[in-house]
Amino acid sequence: MGRLDGRIAVVTGAASGIGLATAKRFAAEGAGVVMVDQHGEKVRRAAQALGQGLDPVLADITKIADLAALRDHVAKTYGFADILFANAGIASFAPVGKVSEEAFDRTVTTNFKGTFFTVQTLLPVLRDGASVILTSSVSGSKGAPAFSIYSATKAAVRSLARTLTSDLKDRGIRVNALAPGNTETPIGINAGLSQEQSDAFFAHTALDTPLGRNGQANDIAAAALYLACDDSSFVTGIELTVDGGFAQI
């Protein structure tokens, strides 16, 4: 018997990395999972590879029309959702003097605006007592160079978890932020790093992490499962940090 038997989960950014690992974990625990990503063919292939119970949907969280279509799909196909993992996001790395307006707008629009409107748009199909999980980051509380915009958006997401907790308490909807540490996913390469630069970055961060390694997507998926299931029924408004101690000491 799975911890999510009979529940419907919506996971954004589900074609790779943390989103993909979490979709797989939720499905293994009995959930029907709507896998949402802006890369349609990639998310379809991922859903096919994982097996039954996975429903790939093409949607760009920066486009309200796409989010509305996602909401309508959930309503028509399932009637409701019990879990929303608003995970989709991007990274951009540049010293403050070299941050372009385009990079600023794209990062803020995706990570903050997109996360906010994902929750707002899907609210009508979330059941009372649902679990909403927002992906923040330890970067939201650290001051790493060249991370200014990314870090600011993740701090905003953590703040959003608090205010949404207050806004939605009358419906019993729990809202929590999940803050990964240095996790080996393609996000850096998607931001323009070469494979060599990405490898060097992760080699450095592993040395700075008390547990002696970087996180893997499955580490974060395990924490997302905790926040999604009844094990965390008395947990709301928090930021759950999963970072091997990187930002803690």
Positive or negative, the CA dihedral 70, 122, 147, 102 is positive
Tokens found for residue 75? 């309503």
Alpha carbon of 169 to those of 81, 125, 172, 173: distances in Å?
17, 16, 5, 6
Alpha carbon of 78 to those of 81, 82, 85, 122, 203: distances in Å?
7, 10, 17, 13, 44
Residue 128 · residue 146 · CB < 8 Å? no
The catalytic position among 150, 184, 238, 243 is: 150
E strand residue ranges, 30-125: 32-37, 54-58, 81-86
> Which residue has tokens 């038997």?
5
The residue among 22, 177, 10, 14 whose CA lies nearest residue 81 is 10
Q: What is the largest CA-CA distance in the chain?
A: 54
Residue 26 · residue 9 · CB < 8 Å? yes
The residue among 32, 39, 36 whose CA lies nearest residue 6 is 32
Whether 78 is catalytic: no
Q: Which residues are catalytic?
A: 150
